[in-house]
A and B are shown apart, each in its own frame.
Chain A
Amino acid sequence: MEACPSRFALDDAEIHGGAAKTSVARHLEACDRCRARSAERDQLGRRFDDALAAPLWNRVDGVRRGSRRRWWWGLAVPAFAAMAAVVLLARPSDGYRATKGDLTVEVAGRRAGAVFAVDAATEVSPGDELQFTVRSARATTERYVLVGSVDGTGRFSPFYPGSLDGESVPVPAGGAPLAPPVVLDDAPGPERVVVVLSERPLAARALAPLIEARAAASDGASALGGGETAVRWIVLGKRRMKR
């Protein structure tokens, strides 16, 4: 009798088929032990297919959409509508000034079910939910928005769109907030949130190095890449996660 196939060989044959599958099938006919193991494998496979595959994919996909956030599909929109929102008005001295497009960004936060105001003095924590509402006086032309953050390591992670492979998203109609809310991870702070408004969709991957460079230079640039953009920076201190 041929040597018993490894788990890897069994999986390879099951998935890719071919001659290996025939060989494994022949072995199973002759080997009681492998047949018993194969039955257990089948049982576990069914358990995965029936109950675990879909929720696990949702978890993977949620992380993929940005390691910086998780999706909270269950959050009711009305609950957020009731959240207090703090308008971060541009003032020359607070570092939040947008010099182009009269861009206003409203940020609302929620922690452990409690709503809190987000302003220049706010210190956020891992797990905090943030919701962004973006408004522009030039709403008819600046119709796309990209929001993300440069963390304490200098790495940019997009929130909207959800990954570097995406592009700016349309500004929600009627002053509605961007959805779903962002949940901060435990990356070191500060969180230097950047909001980029543009006339056309912009590729997040193309903007990432420019944003990271601007964040490193701390120059609060009001434009990126020389294009028709309005940019706003919001710097938030961040507590460390207790371990």
Chain B
Amino acid sequence: MDESAVSTAYRMYARAIWRRCYTVLRNEASAMDVTQEVFVRCFRHHRELRTGSELLGWLYRVATNLCLNELRDRHARGEAAAIDAPAPAVQAGAEPEAIARLMTAEVLFGLDRRSQEIGFFVFVDGMTHVEAAQVAGVSERTVRYCLSRFLEHGRKRLGVRLQEEI
């Protein structure tokens, strides 16, 4: 993708990326900051990127990691860092309250970043394992492994039982 294509990508995807960041962070200015950084990185890496769903996945992934950084910083400052209600796909097969509690900074940040990211994709964004694998650029097996770590960690920290099938 050449550099001029980044402005086109902005027109196509910025709305979705900002909306996603806002949904996670619940703060307009923070969502703006994260979205800005996502597209600055898009400029920086434009040669490695391809347009289409693959680019949307890359933007999602970068935005996710930046949102996780923001939540980590809030947590470090002692601010509440609860994440938005879990995605409907998860709620259909799991205990909503437990998942919501699981998606707190307290639990998230006792985990490795990969498991945080995968947990985020599946529990917050409601991605299928196939989608999460595509967006994260890992195998479905890795997704299952990361989710098992995520849920095991949650069980230890919160003492809850979750029905999400791995």
Contacts of A165 in B (CB 8 A): 3
Contacts of A11 in B (CB 8 A): 16, 20, 56
Set B7, B56, B88, B127: member contacting A34, Cβ < 8 A: B88
With A15-B56, A53-B15: A9-B131 Cβ-Cβ less than 8 Å = yes
Q: How many residues belonging to A are interface residues under a CB distance threshold of 8 Å?
A: 31
In A159-204, which residues have CB < 8 Å from any B CB? 165
In B1-60, which residues have CB < 8 Å from any A CB? 3, 6-7, 10, 12-16, 18-20, 22-23, 28, 32, 35-36, 39-40, 43, 52-53, 56-57, 60
Total inter-chain residue pairs, C-beta < 8 Å? 90
With A44-B22, A45-B15: A59-B36 Cβ-Cβ less than 8 Å = yes
Q: In the complex, what residue of chain A is closest to B20 when comparing beta carbons?
A: A7
With A8-B60, A48-B15: A60-B10 Cβ-Cβ less than 8 Å = yes
Set B14, B53, B57, B92: member contacting A53, Cβ < 8 A: B14
* Contact status A56-B126, CB under 8 Å: no
Q: Is the interface of B mostly helix, strand, loop or mixed?
A: helix
Q: In the complex, what residue of chain B is closest to A1 when comparing beta carbons?
A: B92
In A51-82, which residues have CB < 8 Å from any B CB? 52-53, 56-57, 59-60, 63-64, 67
* Contact status B16-A15, CB under 8 Å: yes
* Contact status A4-B88, CB under 8 Å: yes
Contacts of A67 in B (CB 8 A): 40
Contacts of B32 in A (CB 8 A): 52, 56, 59
* Contact status A57-B14, CB under 8 Å: yes
With A16-B52, A44-B23: A4-B87 Cβ-Cβ less than 8 Å = yes
Contacts of A60 in B (CB 8 A): 10, 36, 39-40, 43
Docked complex Cα distance between A37 and B131 (Å): 20
* Contact status B89-A12, CB under 8 Å: no
A123 at the interface (CB under 8 A from B): no
With A7-B20, A41-B19: A63-B36 Cβ-Cβ less than 8 Å = yes
B135 at the interface (CB under 8 A from A): yes
B65 at the interface (CB under 8 A from A): no
B148 at the interface (CB under 8 A from A): no
A5-43 to B contact mask, C-beta < 8 Å, 1/0: 111110110111000000000000001011001000100
B128 at the interface (CB under 8 A from A): yes
- 13 more contacts with CB within 8 A, not counting A15-B56, A44-B23, A60-B10, are A3-B128, A5-B89, A6-B126, A6-B128, A8-B60, A8-B121, A8-B125, A8-B135, A9-B127, A12-B56, A45-B15, A59-B36, A67-B40
Residues of B within 8 A of A (CB): 3, 6-7, 10, 12-16, 18-20, 22-23, 28, 32, 35-36, 39-40, 43, 52-53, 56-57, 60, 87-89, 92, 121, 125-128, 131, 135
6 A-B pairs (CB sep. < 8 Å) = A4-B92, A7-B87, A45-B19, A49-B15, A52-B18, A64-B6
